[in-house]
A and B are shown apart, each in its own frame.
Chain A
């Protein structure tokens, strides 16, 4: 399964309500395409975020976002890059 990263830029910073609404809209669109969300990060200033996914292809993920009307800045196919065991 390709590993995908979606990057967001929020101006103004995203609120909890907007965040919840976006994920609420996305959820069924992801599910119906068999896309698995792995984890998400939101910067402390709430202007930037990324989500990590597993999907059959990048286009399915783009389509899910477009369908759910959730904007994103970039969407990239990526690979997990291990550079050693976690440090203290």
Chain B
């Protein structure tokens, strides 16, 4: 940095110093003011004054005044003649560098996590030179907890940067400049004298330089520290380094020693702060498995060439080395320049839909539908759900396919599929088929004994096998020689024959037993879990305090979640996590998450808790997760799991409901059903009103999962009927009404169209305290809603008939019923009855001063008039419509009234009518009324056709089609296609015309999907094209009558 008279340098890495023009400035005497100065410079941004007050003056005095005073003291230190670096206003204060050099910020820029490896040695050396001591040394402020918490975290982060820089320098200089590497290794050791791996690096570098005696002294020093400070014995690495000293040549560093040195000083090893029982290399040693690796290499080769290859299934019992082999695959794919996405299933979350996939894809950006909690299916039918699910699967397949293009292969690795949820299994099968021709390799791991307990996973394996898309690799136990090799890597002094005799070739057991024997020569556990348990018992207290919470989470976790659930202070927690990682209890994964090194380790940690303690841990975990903001409901499955194990039935039931509803949104049908069933099991002990409310909702969620069929559906039907009656007994009318509504939905789903209405009424009637009025309102509301939207018209028809059955002649006084009847008549082309009903509905709406209802009825009457050539009558109605719209305020009514009026004027051939239509269309677009826009555009297009204005008709019909499609108005879609067909036919393009007709035939072949008017429009043009239009099957109501 160039030093001018105005240049400012802020040194935070060590004792706080500020230099202007190279000269040290006197700093404010107040320690808090200096702390504030350090904080502002370290964060380099503006902060709210309240935040700064809470940081340093969180007491009874006047914090804002204290802050003001401190800022006046800081200003002369930071501001120069030309630069105002302390930016402060009424609300905020912050540091703006304006060319100032802040050591911490400069070091962060050089040593950002991803760039250390790419940073030049000179830049790294300069960065290391900036560390003079701990961040803001001497500025600890007892009593300022927030400040201290921040300072501890920042010091730790700065220290990690220092360690990373030193580690990188040691690694890169160890061969060419071992003297310099040694200097940095000693620096690293000074940072943490208890780091055994740093001692190892110093020993090896001294050995490589031929300074054997110093190396032996270093070894002795390390051994004494281990003994006195930690009561631990030297690790295998330290012993190996000592033994290597005798082979080291003083004049040159032999190639194998260079490799040893490089390996010994790899970054993770030197970053350790506690004595690790083994060198925490990225991966454990892989022993044997040569045929399996050959098979993997062959598959990678096939995948890279885009050749057909099977999905790899690695089978093995717990501890057999499946995960390690899949990690080897990961390494080999990456070495071949490929991309790898990995996920795993967890026993505790078999109802977390797509859990393994969500984790796997999170590393490549995730999938929107999962991020925001899933799309909302608009119907409840299983068919619709499956259609949505397929779309979701296609999105995933496309995302994966995009990762495997332009010569880059992709490997998708999912481990522990014996715990895979149903959705994930289906998705895996879909992906296997969809990515057949792409350079993609799928690899999965499973425990064969537990695979049979998971029907979804078993089905997946069998299907892949039947399709000849599966290659099984079953891991056999290691032989005595291989076991001995594994044991020697842990500790050469451990007797391999004893280990082999006990572990019977299970690699994980062999590793754990070797560690146990190294720590205690008489370790005598007979099972792998006991052996692991004993190792866990030897951990220090802080690490053991974390274990139950981590084990109870049951899956991989991030430190924030663990801090929330355990309530342990973050600083201590991070240290404990680090310790657990060094001891190979936990392993760090992508995204800063941790997981147990093996599921058996998790299980052993979990089993160490007493039953009452487990309940407490789960209960606290559930409540902490419940208090976490979670708009998408992604945590609900976990909450339900922990609340159930913690004995909180209410929370468990509520969480099951949220999780089930989320699964419905994610099209994870069987998981939704399972969660609903679990929720139902928690109900018996709840207070009556809450139980009824949750019971109805959980049954609804079960129903919406789309998995219930036949007897199960009838069982839900009976249960829902009973609980609706109970709700009525309890005076819970709103819940009873919801239940009735769900019941009618369920009947409809079951194909019992009459029953959809009738039986829900019977449910009301069988109760002594039945409320038929509520039921009738529900039915007529639903009927009107469906007819207005022209959705599920057969169901609407049945609901109208059911309402007639209940209300008898009184039905003509129920607005919703009369309105629905009018809409239905209009839909089926019965013009006069439609007008009569709509006139009656209009009168009822006016009687009850219901403005929107009045508007809608009047609008419909005007529309019927327009469609049937009664333009003058329509125009008259439009006048009333416009008056009404003017009174309705903010909405689309004025634009809608204007549009119909413009159409009526067009039909009456009034001057300027065409301009009026265009203007009305613009207004409708502005208020974003797509449904009405489609209607008006179609009417205008049909008018254009009559006036031989083909181009205008085509333009309007095309827009109408787009609008109608966006809001799924099937009748308007058919009408616009009929117009487009007519235009094509007029232009002599019969083929295009036929295409437009064919696009509508699907809807026309179903009963009551499109209106009679739409059917007539399509039929008219079809006849001219000599095409046959399918006759729809009779509606359920027609079938019932016949």
Contact = CB atoms under 8 A, between A and B. Distances in A.
14 contacts: A20-B734, A28-B741, A29-B785, A35-B376, A39-B631, A56-B966, A59-B892, A59-B927, A59-B931, A62-B929, A67-B788, A73-B890, A74-B890, A88-B47
Contacts of A39: 631
Contacts of A35: 376
Nearest to B895: A59
A32 B378 contact: yes
A59 B932 contact: yes
A8 B784 CA distance: 26
A74 B786 CA distance: 25
Interface string B927-966: 1111110000000000000000000000000000000001
Contacts of B734: 20-21, 24
A75 interface: yes
Nearest to A36: B376
A19 interface: no
B785 A57 contact: no
B852 interface: yes
Contacts of B892: 58-59, 62
Contacts of A62: 891-892, 929
Contacts of A28: 741, 782, 785
A34 B375 CA distance: 10
B968 interface: yes
Contacts, number: 67
Interface in A22-71: 24, 28-29, 31-36, 39, 56-60, 62-63, 66-67
A15 interface: no
A2 interface: yes
Interface of A: 2, 20-21, 24, 28-29, 31-36, 39, 56-60, 62-63, 66-67, 73-75, 77, 88
B967 A60 contact: yes
Among B734, B891, B928, B930, residue most surrounded by chain A Cβ atoms (within 10 Å): B928
Given A39-B631, A57-B966, A66-B852, A88 B51 contact: yes
Contacts of A29: 785
Contacts of B785: 28-29, 32, 67
B287 interface: no
A59 B928 contact: yes
A56 B788 contact: no
A2 B926 CA distance: 13
A60 B966 CA distance: 11
B1006 to A, nearest CB: 19
A62 to B, nearest CB: 6
Nearest to B792: A32
B243 interface: no
Given A32-B789, A32-B791, A73-B890, A59 B376 contact: no
B738 interface: yes
A20 B784 CA distance: 23
Contacts of B932: 59
A19 B329 CA distance: 56
A60 B967 CA distance: 8
Given A24-B734, A56-B930, A57-B931, 7 more contacts: A2-B928, A31-B376, A32-B785, A36-B375, A62-B891, A63-B788, A77-B928
A70 B378 CA distance: 21
Nearest to A28: B741
Contacts of A31: 376, 378
A24 B376 contact: no
Among B48, B786, B929, residue most surrounded by chain A Cβ atoms (within 10 Å): B929
A28 B380 CA distance: 12
Contacts of A33: 378, 789
Contacts of B738: 24
Nearest to A34: B378
B252 to A, nearest CB: 53
A36 B789 CA distance: 17
Contact of B786 (A32, A59, A73, A88): A32
Nearest to A54: B376
A62 B784 CA distance: 16
A23 to B, nearest CB: 11
Interface in B891-923: 891-892
B376 A75 contact: no
Nearest to B928: A58
A24 B741 CA distance: 12
B891 A75 contact: yes
Given A28-B741, A88-B47, A59 B930 contact: yes
Interface string B773-790: 000000000101110110
A77 to B, nearest CB: 5
Nearest to A35: B376
Contacts of A58: 892, 927-929
A39 B852 CA distance: 26
Contacts of A56: 930, 966-968
Nearest to B735: A24
A55 to B, nearest CB: 9
A2 to B, nearest CB: 7
A73 B889 CA distance: 9
